[in-house]
Structure 1
Amino acid sequence: MRIDVLGPVRARRDDGAPVALGGPRHREVLARLVAAEGRMVTTDTLVTDLWPDPPVRAVGALRTFVAALRRALEPDRPPRTPPRLLVTEGPGYALRLPRADVDAHRFQDALDRARRDPGAVTGLGTELAAWRGAAYADVTGAAWARRERARLEELRLEGVELRARLLLASGDGADLVADLGAHAAEHPWREPAWELLARALHRAGRRADALATLRRARTTLADRLGLDPGPGLRRLETDLLHDAAPAEGAHTAWTAPGVPLGPRTTVALARTLALAGGDALVRSRRDRLAAVRAAERTGDPALTARVIGAYDVPAVWTRADDPEQSRALVAAAERTLAGLGPDAPAALRARLLAAIAVESRSADLTAPERDHARRAAHRAEELARSLADPALLAHALNGVFLHSFTRPGRAADRDATGAELLDLATRHDLPAFAVLGRLVRLQSASALGDLDAAAVHADAADRLAATAEAPLVPVLTGWFRARAAADRSTAPGGPTAADVAARYRAAEDALRTSGMPGLHRGLFPLALLGLRLLHDRPAPTDPRLDWGPYHPWTRPLVLLAQNRPDEARTALTAAPDPPPDHLQEALWSLTAHAAARLADRTAATRAATALRAARTEHAGAATGMLTLGPVARYLREAEECAGEEAGAPG
């Protein structure tokens, strides 16, 4: 079986015979699963992607499409035997095809090989020639398809330029002039296209035409974008004027092996992808690190600093989605700071320091590492203020916010940071940071129990997200609305606990495919536990629940719900102090509650000491996504267990 999506969606058998896939919806389901590259796509995601306003029987219709696709893809599969290609997995479906059997995957793999090995240029040319038009050309109107088309088109353009660069570097390429001329005319803002065309003309013995091309590039960039040519184009023009063109494939300041578009372009693409979420967010993290490593290989620390600092995507959560990569980025920023030396431009130092602060979010950071990151955040803020650079200051304040969880009870401080971010972003047209400011203020109002104010910020964040193309924002605000419903469920006439659990489950389904594992893992069980505590019920004991990083603090209550008090005491004793992040008040409150249930005065004293500064806040609500109820309840339990006077100073 072969599936092609680089053009209209189609399937063919090994002998080339076409497969009748059915109507447009059938092809869109297949295409969406191809885009997931073997990963499971939930039923809810498929329904949302197929229908902006799903009909009542949408899930049933989806199952009908899947059944028809299975018959088309495996017509000879015996009855009552499980499918091998389009499989059911968990709450959704996945396509199990070798990457070589899907044209989009073959193309991406060929591009990756050519980045690493110039000898793979022939295979890249073969896959570029196989494109039949825009990716997913017949899937119109779907947001996911628009994102995939844009991503694959960017990779196609990179592939065209990489192939040309490799052929020129090998001594070939004089016959590329016509193709590169069309490429530059179609994409006049891409400096590598002009550079490669000029090199190909020079290779063909047409030095005057090469110079004319570079001058046309200068005029085009100035007229259309108001930009001067980059250093690579300027250097090539100078060399050609002196009839001393550099060797084909020589590196300019913005190019490096494996990143033919240059690290600057790759980071710009990664930043755009990050705001899209989902698979695009996962890819953006990968592309960003590749660009930083490519920049480091040039040996130019100023270039590396610009590449690291260019990825100023706002971050609202205190746990990294990829801790290993975050450590690699922090290490690269530290090396670059050292390479620049003490006399480096303040703007470069500020961006590197802000990057260190934002990326230092792993829960396993040591205390000295956290202190270092917090100092980096405040030093970046100082430098940004001295430079009067609003975009840089917004990025620095993001780092300050992420390191404001040094102890429980600092919601008011974070709200002040959020208010400054919002004001700064509004005055200087920084929409992504305006969204961040709204989300920070939403979290802070939620922590303080002011749900009306939090709802105002949630609504405003949704409106901003619609214009800033930030689809992750409704995922977060959906969780807030479930959290608000949980709070109302304890009041007469409020939603039932079952209704709230259903809202949390819907929010969980949206979060599952968001590309944010650092936020996702363990959050849903913790929300359910908070809901049960609000209604004075025991912890959920479903063994399928993945408590993720919160397991040490939830386990005592789960064991108590299973009537295993001795094991619960052991687990409570083993639970460490919670890390200083969004959920520290919640985890300390769980410790306090378990200590009171088990009459453990030592644990109760620890919890009471930590929680006193947060007595006016709501446990877990600093996330803006769940709540365990007022901290005061858990503080009172801990103080009574510890035999302390209620309200004793911390």
Structure 2
Amino acid sequence: MRIDVLGAVRALHDDGTPVDLGGPRHREVLARLVAAGGRMVPTDTLVEDLWTDPPVRAVGALRTFVAALRRALEPGRPPRTPPRVLVTEGPGYALRLPRDAVDVHRFEDALARARRTPEGRADLDTALAAWRGPAYADVPGSAWAQRERTRLEELRLEATELRALLLLDSGSGAELVAELGAHVAEHPWREPAWGLLARALHRAGRQADALATLRRARTMLSDQLGLDPGAELLHLETEILRGAATLQPPPSLWAAGVRPGPRTTVELARTLALAGGGGLVHSRRDRLAAVRAAERTGDTALTARVIGAYDVPALWTRADDPEQSRAVVAAAVRTLTALGADGPAALRARLLATVAVESRSADLSATERRRAGRAAREAEALARELDDPALLLFALNGRFLQSFTRPGLAAARDAIGAEILDLATRHELPDFAVLGRLVRLQSASALGDLGTATAHAEAADQLAVSTEASLVPVLTGWFRARVTAARSTEPDGPTAAAAAAHYRTAENALAGTGGMPGLHRGLFALALLGLRLLHDRPAPTDPALDWGPYRPWTRPLVLLARNRDEEARAALAVTPEPPLDHMQEALWCLTAHAAAHLDERSAAARAATALRPARTEHAGGASGMLTLGPVERYLAEAEACADKN
């Protein structure tokens, strides 16, 4: 008995005659069990995989298919004898056949041997020749089959390139030119294929054609994806130009990389994003264009690489461009699905970290937030297993951005910032060292430790000089304005007017960077409101002030300042819970303050419940950019109001 799925699904008797497997559903059940690799597949999973909308009697139909398959696969089995091929196991079914009786398992095993030793090439030749078309070709519409086809096609391309590499390393190669030329034409996005073709041309004595091939690769990657060739192709070009007699590429030539070359468009987008200003617009545009171009190639590994390459340290919980962030998250989720759970761990970790970092818009649904939190934790776990410091830093950035799940978590964020700073410093990754400093600045600010926060601000400013991160002094300028505001309440401290002027200077500097839409709207007005509350004064009523996204929480206090109490009461009644971001403690404190002044006990009780875990923190301090003073003050107001008889 032999089963083949590298093409249409079929089974053959020992003498080569075909087994009548029945209809399409019968073949799909058999194929699904082959894909499980000998593991048991629960009945519920089989039903879900066979039907998008399972009929009422789906389980009964499945049992009918299994019974028919058993008769076909073991026609001579005596009655009442347990089946030996398609067996019942626990709550489901499993296929019990030797691995060499299934073509896909022979192929996987041959590839594994060839990876370990050049002597495995002959088996690889045989296994590649067994492909009769796309895997599971007659199961086109099933999601599980599509995932398997994607996985196996990637392995087939890797096997093709590995076979060519082994032939080149053995001294052959000239005869591979036509074969590799066709391979590159069909899969132009695979950098290893271009390198192999160039080596084969060089082996055939065609150095000019080899260099022209590498130039075509450079042009294609640049024009279509904005990618420069990776290090392996650059090394190969240098060796050909030097006239090297033998060209031995690094062993990883055919392995899927994670990061593109240092001067790719994605890398340029990273640089623009770090620089800020008008470059942010170009950064977003170029990044999304590269992601979409990569998806159009159909090359899952390449798409994952392009998406995951944009590991720009992110500090703020609101996206600069929510629509672009949603598009990137959707592409990352699609690519994760295509890679499957068995895809390369480094690529999966980068995609998961991307989901965590980009899922930071205020309007995320509860389901999206849970997905982002899971992605952050899984990315961190994978990065730790891989012992990849740069990848772990990216994953920890996702953890940080997903650590605003409730008020009062400044200490937890400080621990994340401390690890980011330690890792980045030890491994000389200055962009993330800046992030670590700013995270710790924010955390110390939230905890009211302005001395420690100031030390982190000064260190961040020093790092910004070497990394040319022009946004850093803008952010630390806001922090120094926040310090001035806090100290304006102290005896012999600066005046409130001086603090307001300091905030205005910081706002002008931020506007000069291009505005950072996810950050600046409403920030100056909220800072002025916080300053007034520190000095027990009513909210500012200047109609020119832009409250931005903070308007629902500030409106009751602005109306109170205008002596429009009933309107303030109505505004308080529709004030939503704050988004889970840097400002949540501050916005809860505004709700608490308004509720206390309006004697709205229900709203006060709600605010008090939310604020108790943040009792020792400072409202707005988590932003590192403004302050409303200690949370304890607003919590006490809310509790006193809520506890009135």
Q: State the TM bucket, normalised to the shorter chain.
A: 0.5 to 0.7
The 3 A distance-change label for structure 1 pair 215 and 616 is: closer
- Mapping for residues 99-178 of structure 1, pairs under 5 Å: none
Identify the residue that residue 309 of structure 2 maps to in structure 1.
310
The 3 A distance-change label for structure 1 pair 215 and 376 is: closer
Residues 214 and 237 of structure 2 are in contact (CA less than 8 Å); yes or no, is this contact kept in structure 1?
no
Residues 615 and 631 of structure 1 are in contact (CA less than 8 Å); yes or no, is this contact kept in structure 2?
yes
Distance, in Å, in 2 between the alignment partners of 1:540 and 1:485 is: 19
Identify the residue that residue 335 of structure 2 maps to in structure 1.
336
The 3 A distance-change label for structure 1 pair 598 and 437 is: same
SS of residue paired to 2:454: helix
What one-letter code is carried by the residue in structure 1 that aligns with 2:321? D
Distance, in Å, in 2 between the alignment partners of 1:579 and 1:209 is: 60
What one-letter code is carried by the residue in structure 2 that aligns with 1:601? R
Give 1:556 shift: 0.1
Identify the residue that residue 553 of structure 1 maps to in structure 2.
553
What runs of 5+ residues in structure 2 fail to find an aligned partner?
A: 1-189, 218-228, 242-254
SS of residue paired to 2:232: coil
Residues 263 and 291 of structure 1 are in contact (CA less than 8 Å); yes or no, is this contact kept in structure 2?
no
Identify the residue that residue 563 of structure 2 maps to in structure 1.
563
Identify the residue that residue 229 of structure 1 maps to in structure 2.
233
Q: Does 1:634 align with 2:634?
A: yes
What's the CA shift string for 1:2-54, capped at 9, x where partnerless? xxxxxxxxxxxxxxxxxxxxxxxxxxxxxxxxxxxxxxxxxxxxxxxxxxxxx
Residues 333 and 356 of structure 1 are in contact (CA less than 8 Å); yes or no, is this contact kept in structure 2?
yes
What's the CA shift string for 1:490-517, capped at 9, x where partnerless? 0111111111111100100111132411
What one-letter code is carried by the residue in structure 2 that aligns with 1:527? A
Distance, in Å, in 1 between the alignment partners of 2:358 and 2:328 is: 7
SS of residue paired to 1:537: coil
Residues 406 and 580 of structure 1 are in contact (CA less than 8 Å); yes or no, is this contact kept in structure 2?
yes
Residues 420 and 436 of structure 2 are in contact (CA less than 8 Å); yes or no, is this contact kept in structure 1?
yes
What one-letter code is carried by the residue in structure 2 that aligns with 1:376? A
Identify the residue that residue 221 of structure 1 maps to in structure 2.
none
SS of residue paired to 1:566: helix
What's the CA shift string for 1:466-522, capped at 9, x where partnerless? 101111000100000000000000011111111111110010011113241111111
The 3 A distance-change label for structure 1 pair 214 and 593 is: same
Give 1:212 shift: 5.5
Identify the residue that residue 535 of structure 2 maps to in structure 1.
535
Give 1:427 shift: 0.4
Give 1:262 shift: 10
What one-letter code is carried by the residue in structure 1 that aligns with 2:290? A
Distance, in Å, in 1 between the alignment partners of 2:429 and 2:382 is: 19
Structure 1 stretches (4+) deviating beyond 2 angstroms?
A: 206-218, 225-228, 230-234, 261-264
What one-letter code is carried by the residue in structure 1 that aligns with 2:521? R
Distance, in Å, in 1 between the alignment partners of 2:465 and 2:644 is: 51
What one-letter code is carried by the residue in structure 2 that aligns with 1:391? A
Distance, in Å, in 2 between the alignment partners of 1:512 and 1:475 is: 10
Residues 211 and 237 of structure 2 are in contact (CA less than 8 Å); yes or no, is this contact kept in structure 1?
no
Give 1:231 shift: 11
Identify the residue that residue 147 of structure 1 maps to in structure 2.
none
Q: Does 1:271 align with 2:287?
A: no
Distance, in Å, in 1 between the alignment partners of 2:236 and 2:617 is: 55
What one-letter code is carried by the residue in structure 2 that aligns with 1:227? A
Distance, in Å, in 2 between the alignment partners of 1:360 and 1:226 is: 29
The 3 A distance-change label for structure 1 pair 212 and 514 is: closer
What's the CA shift string for 1:315-367, capped at 9, x where partnerless? 00001110011000000000000111121011010000000000001100011
SS of residue paired to 1:315: coil
What's the CA shift string for 1:123-143, capped at 9, x where partnerless? xxxxxxxxxxxxxxxxxxxxx
Give 1:265 shift: 1.7
Give 1:584 shift: 0.4
Residues 595 and 601 of structure 1 are in contact (CA less than 8 Å); yes or no, is this contact kept in structure 2?
yes
Q: Does 1:605 align with 2:605?
A: yes
Distance, in Å, in 2 between the alignment partners of 1:262 and 1:295 is: 15
Identify the residue that residue 410 of structure 1 maps to in structure 2.
409
Give 1:269 shift: 1.1
What's the CA shift string for 1:380-437, capped at 9, x where partnerless? 0000000000000000000000111111001000000000000000000110100000
- Mapping for residues 197-346 of structure 1, pairs under 5 Å: 209-211=208-210, 227-229=231-233, 265-346=264-345
Identify the residue that residue 580 of structure 1 maps to in structure 2.
580
The 3 A distance-change label for structure 1 pair 371 and 208 is: closer
What one-letter code is carried by the residue in structure 2 that aligns with 1:563? N
Distance, in Å, in 2 between the alignment partners of 1:233 and 1:295 is: 24
Give 1:217 shift: 12
Distance, in Å, in 1 between the alignment partners of 2:230 and 2:237 is: 16
What one-letter code is carried by the residue in structure 2 that aligns with 1:554? T
What runs of 5+ residues in structure 1 fail to find an aligned partner?
A: 1-190, 219-224, 238-252, 255-260, 646-650
Identify the residue that residue 619 of structure 2 maps to in structure 1.
619
What one-letter code is carried by the residue in structure 1 that aligns with 2:331? A
What's the CA shift string for 1:275-308, capped at 9, x where partnerless? 1110012211111000000100100110010011
SS of residue paired to 1:520: coil
Give 1:213 shift: 5.9
The 3 A distance-change label for structure 1 pair 423 and 212 is: closer
TM-score (norm 1): 0.61
Give 1:644 shift: 6.5
Q: Does 1:391 align with 2:395?
A: no
SS of residue paired to 2:342: coil
Give 1:268 shift: 1.2
Give 1:233 shift: 7.5
SS of residue paired to 2:233: coil
Distance, in Å, in 2 between the alignment partners of 1:276 and 1:314 is: 12
Distance, in Å, in 1 between the alignment partners of 2:580 and 2:627 is: 17
Give 1:227 shift: 3.5
Residues 263 and 295 of structure 1 are in contact (CA less than 8 Å); yes or no, is this contact kept in structure 2?
no
What's the CA shift string for 1:45-80, capped at 9, x where partnerless? xxxxxxxxxxxxxxxxxxxxxxxxxxxxxxxxxxxx
Distance, in Å, in 2 between the alignment partners of 1:582 and 1:272 is: 25
Distance, in Å, in 2 between the alignment partners of 1:370 and 1:233 is: 46
The 3 A distance-change label for structure 1 pair 212 and 329 is: closer
Alpha carbon RMSD of aligned pairs, Å? 3.1
Residues 410 and 614 of structure 1 are in contact (CA less than 8 Å); yes or no, is this contact kept in structure 2?
yes
Identify the residue that residue 590 of structure 1 maps to in structure 2.
590
SS of residue paired to 1:531: helix
Q: Does 1:520 align with 2:541?
A: no
What's the CA shift string for 1:187-223, capped at 9, x where partnerless? xxxx99xx9xx99xx9xxx9763336669999xxxxx
Residues 449 and 617 of structure 1 are in contact (CA less than 8 Å); yes or no, is this contact kept in structure 2?
yes
What one-letter code is carried by the residue in structure 2 that aligns with 1:594? A
Identify the residue that residue 77 of structure 2 maps to in structure 1.
none
The 3 A distance-change label for structure 1 pair 338 and 215 is: closer
Give 1:626 shift: 0.1
Give 1:530 shift: 0.1
The 3 A distance-change label for structure 1 pair 611 and 212 is: closer
- Percent identical residues: 72
Distance, in Å, in 2 between the alignment partners of 1:577 and 1:535 is: 26
Identify the residue that residue 447 of structure 2 maps to in structure 1.
448
Distance, in Å, in 2 between the alignment partners of 1:627 and 1:641 is: 23
Residues 214 and 233 of structure 1 are in contact (CA less than 8 Å); yes or no, is this contact kept in structure 2?
no
Distance, in Å, in 2 between the alignment partners of 1:501 and 1:334 is: 45
Give 1:226 shift: 11
Residues 330 and 355 of structure 1 are in contact (CA less than 8 Å); yes or no, is this contact kept in structure 2?
yes
What's the CA shift string for 1:87-119, capped at 9, x where partnerless? xxxxxxxxxxxxxxxxxxxxxxxxxxxxxxxxx
Residues 263 and 294 of structure 1 are in contact (CA less than 8 Å); yes or no, is this contact kept in structure 2?
no
SS of residue paired to 2:489: coil
Give 1:546 shift: 0.9
Identify the residue that residue 506 of structure 2 maps to in structure 1.
507
What one-letter code is carried by the residue in structure 2 that aligns with 1:379? E
Distance, in Å, in 1 between the alignment partners of 2:478 and 2:214 is: 54
Give 1:232 shift: 11
